[in-house]
Structure 1
Amino acid sequence: MADIQKDITDWLKTLKGWQTELAYRILTKKIEESDISDIIAMVKSNATFVNKEFPNFVNSANEKQIRLLSIESIQNIESLAPRNPLKFEKDKNLIVIYGSNGSGKTGYTKIIKKISGKPRSKELKPNVYSANPINGKCVIKYFINNTEPAIEKEWIINDNPISDLSKIDVFDTNTGNGYIDEANAATYTPRCVALFVELSLYYSKIQERLEQEKSKLAKTIPSIPYAFQTTQPAIIYNELNKNSTELKLANILLWSEQNENAKLELEKRLKEKDPAKSAIEKRKQKFEIEKIVKEITGAYLQINQDAIKEINTLKDDATCKRKIAKDSVQIIANKSELQGVGSQIWKSLWEAARAFSLQEAYQNNEYPNVENDARCVLCHQPLNDDAKERLSSFDSFIKSQLEKEATQAERVYAEKINKLPLVIKQDILSTKCSAANLNDDWLKCFITIWQQIENASNSIKQNIDVSIDAKYTTDNIEILKTIATQYETEALQLDADAKEFDRNKAEKELLELNAKKWCSEQKEAILNEIRRLKDSSDYDIWISQCKTNAITAKANIVSEIVITEEYVRRFNAELSALNANKIKVELLKGGAKGVIKHSLKLKGISEYKPADILSEGEHRIIALASFLADTTGGNNSNPFIFDDPISSLDQQYEEKTVERLIDLSNTRQVIVFTHRLSLLGQLNDKCDSSKIQIIGIRNEHWGAGEIGDTPLFAKNTTKALNSIKNDKISKAKKIFDTQGSTEYYPHGKMLCSDIRIIVERIVELDFLADVIQRYRLAVNTMGKVDKLAKIKKQDCDLINDYMTRYSYYEHSQPGEAPKEIPEPSVIETDVDKLIAWLAEFNKRIV
């Protein structure tokens, strides 16, 4: 066994870390949910086993011993309604419960089978013959290891089994058929083999937990629209797997401005009905944009830094020349008696005077007219010489080069100022935008630009610093130029489409782009799906580690040594003990998920099952042998329950079964339910009376399972006579003395019937030395037939006398006068005489 311990331990340490740890915990503690969680964490992390010393799991300690004491307080279970408990004596291991059909034997067996949690136990029913609102229940009393006090538990019908009673083994027809027809796991499994069963169980639990977790990895990614199914993005989308990466999927995850423009362009081309006309329209829009650009650019050139420098230069030039002219006029002003000569007002007055002189006063003379008779055209006073000289000087000044240059410079400056750009009204700008197919954002942009231009013009006029966002203007100009270029490109495309347009190709390209855009919009869902697929793949790997193939294979090897060989040995021994070793059957081994199962087959025959070939008796005896071979393999001596074990057996098998039951009762409590008098008689005869308890049950009008006295025919003849004398005759006397002969009559008649039955049993068991019995087919002569020599003529006369007299009361004929029943004292005398004779007869020596 030490080799088995080492072999299993070494094998366990070759497994995955979590598998070895699970085995260690199974052997050292009760597995709880927290342990399952720990193990699952080890599965996921691929943790290794931290080496620990395994406990001894080959040699297990003896299990606790159970002894049933009673089944009582039965309510509403099957047809059982006993008013008295079914009690089992503490000091007797063999208990026979006799009752006719319908007396409740099967009901008691069903309760024990269900309450101990046996396989193939059936759901108990309430009493269908008596309506009862009370839930079915009963009380079970038992000892553990024969230790006081008794344990008492109430059990509700079909509730969970009582764990203490799980080691009780029950044989009935259903159980027997299971051993013949099915493959069965060993009822009692050695700890070293049970380890594999438990490993398999917890593998399944871990697998179930992992599968539950995996099922929560719900697929949330939407299905790609049907219209896109044939596109390349759809193919990539539908083939997502755990190895997909964001980089590999860039073609469907990224959507650029270029993609969007291409999509819009295709949509436009596909919507276009007259490409040639649209090309003309597109070029008109381009032209309008170029006009806008030209206007803004032209206006900006008048207010930029270079223009400002130019304006300032013109201004400085005009100022400078005016100053020079003023300086020259000052010389003339010094000769004048009035201030302001040379000023602008003065010049205006001078020019007005010139116009009046030339047009009105002196049409035929040059201005100023300084001839001898000339007068001042303003005051009409005659001109003296000083006045004539002064006017001539003024005229020279006006006609001088300096004045002309100053005036010219001022005119150029004024023209430059007057040409500075002004703001364009919003409605005009809106019209321009519409003509250029530009949206409202551009209208706002143009309003801003022209407002800046006007502000700059005003600043220049006011000779203050100019503030303008030149970058804003230039950037938008460049965008407008790009749009104009784009319009031209579109126009060229429209020109080409007007000549030749592959609509199908364009539609496919647009479909590809739409599919790509749809996929890019699902980017987060796609990345989540890849993570889910990776997680799901991890779970598949973890779940695959929960396969039990290796466990089953190792369990088969170990079980072959510690279970199968022993099981086969016990089975063959049971066949021999039951005298059934001539029946050609054998045990075969199989298994799955670490559980080893054995099944029966006919030797050398594969096409038929045992149930197809065996007779009813052979079927029963093989089933009994299989049951005993299985259940005696446990390390315990707990109760066996048999329900009619000899059903369909012949005399030979019946006797061997009786011997086996008695043998079993030497080490454990054996409870036998039967309706067979032959079984009852044999058990009573073959077993020491101090070791057997016989209980009678019957069906009363209130229900089945009622406990009664042991039937007379089941008792030892001497004990039966003493029971009549001490119990029944005593009660009969009391009734006779107190209530009279009428009340006594039925009791007396019953006494006569009992005596006749006992005399018949004396003939079978004592007089004829049990050589023959009416309920037994075989004639048993070995060690018995020589006892017949004890019989004398007087013995025959005595038997005849008793049978005649006591049968008369039992079998009186119609028409005969009723016979008076003997008084109790007469019957008592006959019983005493019979007891004395029986004692003397049994003491005779042959």
Structure 2
Amino acid sequence: MCKAILKNQIIEWLRNQPYWLQFSGNQILEGQVIDENLLSNTLTFFKEENGLKPAENEQTPIVFNEIETSVSSTTNDIELQAVKDIENVNALISGQEIEINKNLTVIYGNNGTGKSGYIRLLNNAFYNSRGDKNILGNVFNETESGQPTCKFVFKSNGGTLDKFFPADKNCFEFSQYSVFDTQSVKIHLDNDNQLNFTPSGFDFFEKILQLFEELKSNINTEINSLKKTNPFLIHFQNDNEIKKAVESFNSQTDIEKLKAYANFSEEDAEKLEGIKKKIAELKALNIQEKISAFEKLQRELSDFIQKQQNIINFLTQEKIDYYYGLLDNFYKTQTLVNAEGIKSFEKYNIDLVGSQPWRDFVIAARNYKIQIENKKGDGNNYPVEGDRCLFCLQPISGNEKSLIDTYWKLLQSQAETELNKIKQDIANAIRELKNLPTVVFNDTTNLFGFLKQYHPDQTEKWQKIVTDSENSKNNLIQNLEKLNKELLVTVFTVNTSELNPISQKLNESIDELFKKKPDQEIATLTFQQNYLTDKSLLSKLLSQIIEYVLTCKWISKAENSLGAFRTNSLTTLQGSLFNQHITDKYTSTFETECDFLKAPKFIEIKQRNDRLKTLRKLSIANKKASLILSEGEQRAISLADFLTEVQLNPQNKGVVFDDPVTSLDHQRRALIAERLVKLAETKQVIIFTHDLLFVNYLKNLSELMIDIQCHWIEKINDKTGIVSNNNSPATEGDYKSLKNADDAWKAARKETSPTEREKLLRTGFSSLRTNYEYLIIFDLFQAVVLRFDERVSVERLKDVVVLPDFTKKLIAKVGHLSRYIEAHLHSDTFVSNKPEPDDLKREMDEFNELKKELKELRNEIKAGAQS
């Protein structure tokens, strides 16, 4: 990838950008980090160009450093040597170590031996990976808990370097390795994927985006610090043009018009004082109070005239004659009643007969007897023979009945009826007179004071009339109550209508005052006063107001300037350059990988740009590839995509594969094995697999091309993830002799560290176990069936012999050997009896004896067969 060409194209784009972006972009191109100094300078230039700050100095032309020749990207010289000290990862046993070859490392293990745990750990540590990162603790042992940890040993510039996960999880070394597992297959097929590395030179766009965000944040912070509610509204509460102007302070406010409003001259000041004086004079007239006083007098006079006229109306000659006529009729009718009825009662010798109490008694008795008759409802009138007296309850005889009938006749007479009517009329007259209101007309009333001042003669006259009329009214009431004419009652011929001119005069005075009422004039003057007062206040606050308005204008301009940080043009440029420098090469590399792996050729790479990121997606006729391809095709295509990305990443040093040939036939397995061995020439390749045939392909292809190490992961006695370095079924051809076990024994004898000695002995015992496996396959069964050979060697069956006793001894020996391996794992049984170098030497000698015994037995059988 040509960094120089990319840089020159970015420079060409920058030359057409604003000065602030030319400045910062050039700095970033030359390796300047985005620090406070760069941000400050860029922000200054940005503000000057957008009118947010006055220009202080002339802009120095930007000198771009174009590259004439291309420069290749370089990476650190680093190599992974080991993954060790693994703790708290799934159910993996602690303390394991995996040696990593400089070219190809193969870790073989059956299902359930712990490969997935190691892959999940590596997915988390190598953070650019897209695979399964779900690390669990040991779900079968609740006492084991803690954070997953691991140490990675790197070789760098001739020395070793330890990096720890998760303590160093963001270190650069962890970005140089990637993992491909089953979960990665679906992600590569179905997702919009961005390159998991930043292509050399394209980090410019990420840094520019960071710069934009920082600048935008700084400007927004400044905007928010300046924004505040209009502080001047509270000072202008009068409805006028000035208040409207204050209410609408914003970025569009015309400052010159504002200054005109605030031009408060000496003439304005004099005018304001004159208006204040005029308002004070108008208010001093107290016209409204006078109107209120006259209106109150008018109401009192109207009330006086009405009440007093009512009293006078009852004291006219006609009215008095009527009242006295009632008294005269009363006496005449009473005399007639007495003459008609009293004589009939003389024979009964009744006390006070004919008197009023006697009459009242008779009337009450009659009303009582009517109630009794109504209750009985039998139609009989009281009294009849046999009735009882209403008071003494004695039986009524003829004489008593006659007396009671006489009572009733008296009450039913015409004279008696007339008398009762006259009494009712007198009672009504008394009630009417008493209901007349009392008129108060003296020094305690406002009306009296007013009339006394302005109409003294009238006041004196009517004061006497009020007093005399009240006395006459009271005398008349008493005469009627006592049924006599003893008290003097005066006849009044005067009429209150003579007071109407005074009432008319009051109305005229009120009308005259209303004509002089200054409310409208005061309101007009007050509006002018308020306007001039606000104008004066505006002139005093003008400097503060202009500062506020200028701030509003700055905020608006700053908010509009934020559009400069839109990334549309940057995204377009990045996408265009990405196509030129990455996409074409990506497509050709991808197609090459598909050709080699015999993957489908109709896969399309769809690319889109999103916020300075270029995303790719694999599709078939605009459909997800996973919906159309077979499982094997899906794995081949996703593997091709992964290999393409890895090759384009100049920083990538190694890749890890988890069963890359799952679901693939043997032909494609061989192709993938060949491709990964080829990849191991330039990168460290680490492969976890349970496929022995695939392991054999890798081993055979590597023998003449690269270094290879094969390790074995096993599960022994419920201990998962046990790693045997440099030992696996695929390396059994190296175990014709005891060389590996012998080397381990010799090294263990010299080792002084107990830990290292145990490790060497474990390697030795593991190697010896593989020697036994070789013995079984090639010596006992004469290679009739080999692990990685597709054919069975039938012709070799003639050399196979059945040796039951020897077989039992062989099984027992291998089982005994496993106990020594378990002792290295600190099993409960052998924790206090750790193997020593002598134990390994003894087991090696016994292996040689068994091998010799098998040879002798085979010779004996062969000799017997020939004889």
Give the TM-score normalised by the residue count of structure 1.
0.57
Cα deviation, residue 558, structure 1: 1.8
Q: Spell out, residue by residue over 1:155-183, the C-alpha distance to the aligned partner (whole angstroms, 9 max, x if none).
A: 445x5421133221222234333322222
- In structure 1, what is the equivalent of residue 61 of structure 2? 50
Matches of 2:549 and 2:555 in 1, distance apart? 10
2:701 to 665, 686, 697: 686
- In structure 2, what is the equivalent of residue 578 of structure 1? 597
2:585 to 537, 562, 566: 566
- In structure 2, what is the equivalent of residue 68 of structure 1? 80
Please say which of residues 240-249 and 753-762 is displaced more in the overlay: 753-762
The yes-or-no answer on 1:621 pairing with 2:644 is no
Within 5 Å, give how 1:309-388 maps onto structure 2.
none
Question: In structure 2, what residue type is equivalent to 1:714?
Answer: A
Please say which of residues 234-243 and 510-519 is displaced more in the overlay: 510-519
1:59 to 39, 52, 71: 71
- In structure 2, what is the equivalent of residue 24 of structure 1? 26
- In structure 1, what is the equivalent of residue 471 of structure 2? none
The yes-or-no answer on 1:150 pairing with 2:160 is yes
Matches of 1:679 and 1:810 in 2, distance apart? 29
1:829 to 848, 852, 857: 852
Cα deviation, residue 191, structure 1: 3.0
1:677 to 674, 687, 692: 692
Cα deviation, residue 615, structure 1: 3.1
Cα deviation, residue 110, structure 1: 3.4
Q: Spell out, residue by residue over 1:225-250, the C-alpha distance to the aligned partner (whole angstroms, 9 max, x if none).
A: 79979975565444333242443235
2:551 to 501, 522, 532: 532
**C-alpha distance 803-664 of structure 1, shift in aligned 2 (>3 A):** farther
- In structure 2, what is the equivalent of residue 86 of structure 1? 98
- In structure 2, what is the equivalent of residue 550 of structure 1? 569
The yes-or-no answer on 1:194 pairing with 2:212 is no
The yes-or-no answer on 1:138 pairing with 2:150 is yes
The answer to whether the Cα contact below 8 Å between 1:103 and 1:699 also exists between their aligned partners in 2 is yes
Matches of 1:215 and 1:151 in 2, distance apart? 49
Cα deviation, residue 73, structure 1: 2.6
- In structure 1, what is the equivalent of residue 119 of structure 2? 109
The answer to whether the Cα contact below 8 Å between 1:67 and 1:142 also exists between their aligned partners in 2 is yes
1:205 to 207, 214, 235: 214
Cα deviation, residue 669, structure 1: 0.8
Please say which of residues 707-716 and 827-836 is displaced more in the overlay: 827-836
The answer to whether the Cα contact below 8 Å between 2:128 and 2:197 also exists between their aligned partners in 1 is no
Question: In structure 1, what residue type is equivalent to 2:619?
Answer: K
The answer to whether the Cα contact below 8 Å between 2:125 and 2:166 also exists between their aligned partners in 1 is no
**C-alpha distance 657-20 of structure 1, shift in aligned 2 (>3 A):** same
**C-alpha distance 503-568 of structure 1, shift in aligned 2 (>3 A):** farther
- In structure 1, what is the equivalent of residue 392 of structure 2? none
Q: Secondary structure at 2:709's aligned position in 1?
A: strand
- In structure 1, what is the equivalent of residue 288 of structure 2? 275
The answer to whether the Cα contact below 8 Å between 2:711 and 2:728 also exists between their aligned partners in 1 is no
- In structure 2, what is the equivalent of residue 346 of structure 1? none
1:601 to 598, 619, 632: 619
**C-alpha distance 107-518 of structure 1, shift in aligned 2 (>3 A):** farther
The yes-or-no answer on 1:633 pairing with 2:636 is no
The answer to whether the Cα contact below 8 Å between 1:172 and 1:642 also exists between their aligned partners in 2 is yes
Matches of 1:830 and 1:231 in 2, distance apart? 123
Unaligned runs of 5+ in 1: 282-492, 731-746, 774-778, 780-787, 812-820, 837-846
Matches of 1:149 and 1:276 in 2, distance apart? 108
Q: Secondary structure at 2:159's aligned position in 1?
A: strand
Matches of 2:121 and 2:786 in 1, distance apart? 40
**C-alpha distance 234-84 of structure 1, shift in aligned 2 (>3 A):** same
Matches of 1:511 and 1:765 in 2, distance apart? 121
Within 5 Å, give how 1:500-519 maps onto structure 2.
none
Q: How high is the sequence identity, in percent, across the aligned residues?
A: 21
Cα deviation, residue 546, structure 1: 2.0
Q: Spell out, residue by residue over 1:799-829, the C-alpha distance to the aligned partner (whole angstroms, 9 max, x if none).
A: 4547996499769xxxxxxxxx997555222
- In structure 2, what is the equivalent of residue 592 of structure 1? 610
**C-alpha distance 824-111 of structure 1, shift in aligned 2 (>3 A):** closer
Please say which of residues 191-200 and 114-123 is displaced more in the overlay: 114-123
Matches of 1:508 and 1:831 in 2, distance apart? 128
Give the TM-score normalised by the residue count of structure 2.
0.56
Matches of 2:782 and 2:249 in 1, distance apart? 90
1:706 to 701, 722, 733: 722
Q: Spell out, residue by residue over 1:450-493, the C-alpha distance to the aligned partner (whole angstroms, 9 max, x if none).
A: xxxxxxxxxxxxxxxxxxxxxxxxxxxxxxxxxxxxxxxxxxx9
**C-alpha distance 259-668 of structure 1, shift in aligned 2 (>3 A):** farther
Cα deviation, residue 95, structure 1: 0.3
Matches of 2:82 and 2:551 in 1, distance apart? 60
Matches of 1:228 and 1:762 in 2, distance apart? 112
After superposition, the CA RMSD in angstroms is 5.2
Q: Secondary structure at 1:180's aligned position in 2?
A: helix
Matches of 1:612 and 1:645 in 2, distance apart? 20
Within 5 Å, give how 1:783-822 maps onto structure 2.
793=795, 795-799=796-800, 801=802, 806=807
Q: Spell out, residue by residue over 1:367-425, the C-alpha distance to the aligned partner (whole angstroms, 9 max, x if none).
A: xxxxxxxxxxxxxxxxxxxxxxxxxxxxxxxxxxxxxxxxxxxxxxxxxxxxxxxxxxx
Cα deviation, residue 18, structure 1: 2.0
Q: Secondary structure at 1:216's aligned position in 2?
A: helix
Cα deviation, residue 140, structure 1: 1.8
Cα deviation, residue 613, structure 1: 2.9
**C-alpha distance 691-756 of structure 1, shift in aligned 2 (>3 A):** closer
The answer to whether the Cα contact below 8 Å between 1:183 and 1:599 also exists between their aligned partners in 2 is yes
Q: Secondary structure at 1:829's aligned position in 2?
A: helix
1:219 to 225, 228, 246: 228
- In structure 2, what is the equivalent of residue 8 of structure 1? 10
Matches of 1:626 and 1:559 in 2, distance apart? 17
Q: Spell out, residue by residue over 1:506-554, the C-alpha distance to the aligned partner (whole angstroms, 9 max, x if none).
A: 9999999999899889766643432322222342344222222222222
- In structure 1, what is the equivalent of residue 732 of structure 2? 716
Q: Secondary structure at 2:202's aligned position in 1?
A: helix
**C-alpha distance 39-828 of structure 1, shift in aligned 2 (>3 A):** same
Cα deviation, residue 70, structure 1: 1.4
Question: In structure 2, what residue type is equivalent to 1:138?
Answer: C
Matches of 1:117 and 1:708 in 2, distance apart? 27
Cα deviation, residue 112, structure 1: 3.2
Q: Secondary structure at 2:256's aligned position in 1?
A: coil
Count of residues in correspondence between the two structures: 578
Cα deviation, residue 127, structure 1: 5.9
Cα deviation, residue 662, structure 1: 1.0
The answer to whether the Cα contact below 8 Å between 1:729 and 1:828 also exists between their aligned partners in 2 is no
Question: In structure 2, what residue type is equivalent to 1:662?
Answer: V
Q: Secondary structure at 2:599's aligned position in 1?
A: coil
The answer to whether the Cα contact below 8 Å between 2:137 and 2:145 also exists between their aligned partners in 1 is no
Q: Spell out, residue by residue over 1:219-277, the C-alpha distance to the aligned partner (whole angstroms, 9 max, x if none).
A: 24349579979975565444333242443235776787667987999999999996373
Q: Secondary structure at 1:697's aligned position in 2?
A: strand
Matches of 1:266 and 1:673 in 2, distance apart? 102
**C-alpha distance 649-804 of structure 1, shift in aligned 2 (>3 A):** farther
The yes-or-no answer on 1:655 pairing with 2:666 is no
Matches of 2:254 and 2:610 in 1, distance apart? 41
The answer to whether the Cα contact below 8 Å between 2:181 and 2:658 also exists between their aligned partners in 1 is yes
The answer to whether the Cα contact below 8 Å between 1:81 and 1:702 also exists between their aligned partners in 2 is no
Matches of 1:267 and 1:212 in 2, distance apart? 53
Matches of 2:675 and 2:7 in 1, distance apart? 35
Q: Secondary structure at 2:576's aligned position in 1?
A: helix
Question: In structure 1, what residue type is equivalent to 2:171?
Answer: I
Cα deviation, residue 208, structure 1: 2.7
The answer to whether the Cα contact below 8 Å between 1:96 and 1:693 also exists between their aligned partners in 2 is yes
**C-alpha distance 209-716 of structure 1, shift in aligned 2 (>3 A):** farther
**C-alpha distance 249-722 of structure 1, shift in aligned 2 (>3 A):** same
